[in-house]
Structure 1
């Protein structure tokens, strides 16, 4: 028996929006896991990771979003193929069985920075959505520590990144 775990590509987003009171991070309430988390999910066979992130944002939050590409190198002049927006981070998480895979497995999660567009949601979200300040992220008990660390970093960079 192999000790290799199934690895599945996923895409998640730190969805920010600028309000009259500053930047807020939108998180969804995950009913099965009972915590606040990023919108995201599995990459379907017909999409790349950036397309999956946009789809998941729309489905789970109801907001249309745009991705802000993470740090990456530009394609050389004359490169013939389009560049897919780079995630800010890619990390592997061991996860419990879910509706995709009936055994413990690994999510190779592509983490994007996204900006909510418009004045409000354009569709009914699949999950409850709450918009948190940086201080609320630091204090909210139902948020994973890794999300807190990454959100703190992005709160410090979102204004400059959004202007791109």
Structure 2
């Protein structure tokens, strides 16, 4: 039986020098540029995990943008958890969490960092704000490039609708 574990990643965008940029960390073990993310810890929801990983790995806080889709009906009695934009299964090799190959059930979120010049903490990984034209040539996973390209085309409008 395949072992599956919840993970969460966030595509953090910020206006830097008047242009949208995507925040990326350099992963020390994998050696490429990625968006912040990691395993969801016991007792937290995937959205909480995504925001925790953002602060831990980049030093920045962000606000999650609501995923496209219907809202809960008025009067629904239970609190909503922020929905991911996408949920995917990603095969994973052994890592410091699991000693055997497994599958990440990855929850992908989109966030805006409103203060990209003011980190709230020290990043545990090298961090950069990446311009749209830099993304294609960056040493990064292809899935990150695909999603990043899609989101660069929409982030301005998405951020205006939620600010």
Normalized against structure 1, the TM-score is what? 0.94
Name the structure 1 match of 2:129: 131
- Matched residue SS, 1:14: strand
Q: Which structure 1 segments of 5+ residues have no match?
A: none
Q: Which structure 2 segments of 5+ residues have no match?
A: none
Superposition deviation, residue 120 in structure 1: 1.8
Give the number of aligned pairs. Answer: 160
Question: What is the alpha-carbon distance in structure 2 between the residues aligned to residue 15 and residue 98 of structure 1?
Answer: 24
- Matched residue SS, 1:160: helix
Instruction: Tell me which stretches of 4 or more aligned residues in structure 1 moved more than 6 Å.
Output: none
Superposition deviation, residue 162 in structure 1: 1.2
Question: What is the alpha-carbon distance in structure 2 between the residues aligned to residue 160 and residue 21 of structure 1?
Answer: 15
Select the residue among 49, 59, 66 that pairs with 2:46: 49
Normalized against structure 2, the TM-score is what? 0.95
Superposition deviation, residue 81 in structure 1: 0.8
- Matched residue SS, 1:139: coil
Question: What is the alpha-carbon distance in structure 2 between the residues aligned to residue 145 and residue 98 of structure 1?
Answer: 20
Superposition deviation, residue 112 in structure 1: 0.3
Name the structure 2 match of 1:98: 95
CA RMSD of aligned residues (A): 0.9
Superposition deviation, residue 72 in structure 1: 2.0
> Are 1:9 and 2:6 counterparts?
yes
